[in-house]
Amino acid sequence: MPDKERTKYQLDEKDIPTKWYNIQADLKTPLPPVLHPGTGQPIGPQDLAPLFPMELIKQEVSQERWIEIPEEVRDVFRLWRPTPLYRARRLEKALGTPARIYYKYEGVSPAGSHKPNTAVAQAYYNKKQGVTRLSTETGAGQWGSALAMACAFFGLQCKVYMVKVSYHQKPYRRVLMETWGAQVVPSPSPDTQAGKKILEQDPNSPGSLGIAISEAVEDAATREDTKYSLGSVLNHVLMHQTIVGLETKKQLDKADDEADILVGCIGGGSNFSGFSFPFVADKLTGKKKKLRVIAVEPTACPSLTKGKYAYDFGDTVGLTPLVKMHTLGHTFVPPPVHAGGLRYHGMAALVCKLYDDGMIEAVAVPQVATFQAAIQFARAEGIIPAPESAHAIRVVIDEALRCKKEGKRQAIVFNLSGHGHFDLGAYEAHLAGKLQDYEYPAEKVAEALTHLPKVKG
């Protein structure tokens, strides 16, 4: 079969990238400094040392364009990488579009998403430094299950604070984490001072990623044997994910095609960044000025499209350093919708900077239309997408229909960051007509923004 007629573009194990791409090397101006919550001054490595191993701290601030991937990490990656790139021919036909639609499928990992790409790296670097236990938070459970698996591979203990609404909505995610050996508690929990404080204020709190982060950070900061692990937002996490985009570039070369439009869903920024940053590099260096890169978020928690670009805490209680980002306010608790992991009040600093610099676009989509797109995709392509990825699919379909209307043969490429097998409760609710659209509450966000920390300058 000629390459141009293929549906699946696969790479060999030897094609797994040997280096991560660090976009900080190509930014026209550096990121705004991260500030100490107590002094308001830029933080140094020693400020982060209680939470992270030194190798990850170095990666967080590195200006080197390429960072070597340790062989022990690549050895684990061989369990599922390289992941396939598909041409969505059946979806194209169903839409009657002249657009060419491709999707990179990260759902083939043992944990079912892109998250192990950084979980394995983080577990490795912690193990190397002699750490024996990791604490973390998880929203929909994708990240928690990835870290639980990675900890099992490297012989580490794992404590996961799972956002309470997801803990109850997705019991099988919890079982998955526990099968890999992790301890999972609903957040807010009575296990930490931060959790107790929230429960005193609201015993029925549904939880939020910000609250769960507060608990996991406190856990790590108060124990000698424990470091904290984060599945999104931080620079080194986004960098670890760039193997997704680097593989996609090679696969598009195999397809003798190149992207006109890139689409990814966005909550904290990990899968969108890992997929898009190797392509954004070509925009930053002037090679692909016309490439459109679209980040898609839920209307219920639209930090990029509706948030304020300001310094804020990454967590609810205020334990983390201050980061300049598009934020809905660290005290904002998003509604318990099925946007899965896309419920963070802020956004990765690198993503915010690219958005502010006009390098990427952002759009917010409602819940019902998102699930309609997910079902249309599943019935055409067979894969039931995670609700997070379904947000990207909504925009992909909209762009493909625009191409149909305008008669344009553009190549639309998106990251299908995970499968929805553990999210069938959300599909069940949608199919029963129980899901409703939910706009973010402007007055609650306005109130949350009054609590932004005061930063000089």
Q: What is the pTM assigned to this prediction?
A: 0.94
Percent of the chain topping pLDDT 70: 97
Residue 336: predicted pLDDT: 62
Name the CATH topology of 7-15+70-112+236-449: Rossmann fold (3.40.50)
Q: Are 207 and 188 spatial neighbours (Cβ–Cβ below 8 Å)?
A: yes
Residue 155: predicted pLDDT: 98
For 184-217, the DSSP string reads EEEES-TTSHHHHHHHHH-TT----HHHHHHHHH
The Cα 134–Cα 220 span in angstroms is 7
Q: What is the pLDDT of residues 414-433, one digit of tens each?
A: 999 999 998 898 899 899 99
Query: Of the candidates 286, 290, 293, which has an alpha carbon nearest to the alpha carbon of residue 245?
Result: 293
Residue 230: predicted pLDDT: 94
Sorted by sequence, the CB contacts under 8 Å of residue 5 that are 6+ apart come out as none
Task: Kindly tell me if the per-residue pLDDT of 152 is higher than 50.
Answer: yes
The Cα 115–Cα 121 span in angstroms is 11
Residue 318: predicted pLDDT: 80
Residue 323: predicted pLDDT: 93
Q: What is the pLDDT of residues 157-170, one digit of tens each?
A: 999 999 998 898 88
Confidence of residue 275 (pLDDT cuts 50, 70, 90): very high
Which DSSP letter does residue 312 get? Answer: E
Confidence of residue 58 (pLDDT cuts 50, 70, 90): very high
Q: Are 367 and 435 spatial neighbours (Cβ–Cβ below 8 Å)?
A: yes
Average pLDDT over residues 198-220: 92
Residue 9: predicted pLDDT: 97
Q: What is the pLDDT of residues 231-265, one digit of tens each?
A: 999 999 999 999 999 999 999 999 999 999 999 99
Task: Kindly tell me if the per-residue pLDDT of 396 is higher than 60.
Answer: yes
Rounded to 5 degrees, what angle do the CA atoms 354, 357, 358 make? 90
Task: Kindly tell me if the per-residue pLDDT of 457 is higher than 70.
Answer: no
Task: Kindly tell me if the per-residue pLDDT of 326 is higher than 80.
Answer: yes
- Average pLDDT of the chain is 93
Task: Kindly tell me if the per-residue pLDDT of 397 is higher than 90.
Answer: yes
Tokens, residue 347: 């956004």
Task: Kindly tell me if the per-residue pLDDT of 115 is higher than 60.
Answer: yes
Q: Are 147 and 397 spatial neighbours (Cβ–Cβ below 8 Å)?
A: no
Task: Kindly tell me if the per-residue pLDDT of 171 is higher than 60.
Answer: yes
Percent of the chain topping pLDDT 90: 77
Confidence of residue 333 (pLDDT cuts 50, 70, 90): confident
The Cα 268–Cα 439 span in angstroms is 19
Q: What is the pLDDT of residues 335-357, one digit of tens each?
A: 665 555 676 788 999 999 999 99
Q: What is the pLDDT of residues 6-40, one digit of tens each?
A: 899 999 999 999 999 999 999 999 999 999 888 88
Highest mean pLDDT of the ranges 378-382, 430-434, 450-454: 378-382
The Cα 416–Cα 107 span in angstroms is 7
Average pLDDT over residues 362-375: 96
CA 275 from chain centre, in angstroms, equals: 10
Residue 193: predicted pLDDT: 95
Confidence of residue 2 (pLDDT cuts 50, 70, 90): very low
In whole angstroms, how far apart are CA 140 and each of 57, 110, 122, 445?
26, 16, 20, 22
b/e per residue 352-372 (b: at least 16 CB within 10 A): bbbbeeebbbbbbbbbebbbb
Confidence of residue 368 (pLDDT cuts 50, 70, 90): very high
Task: Kindly tell me if the per-residue pLDDT of 363 is higher than 70.
Answer: yes
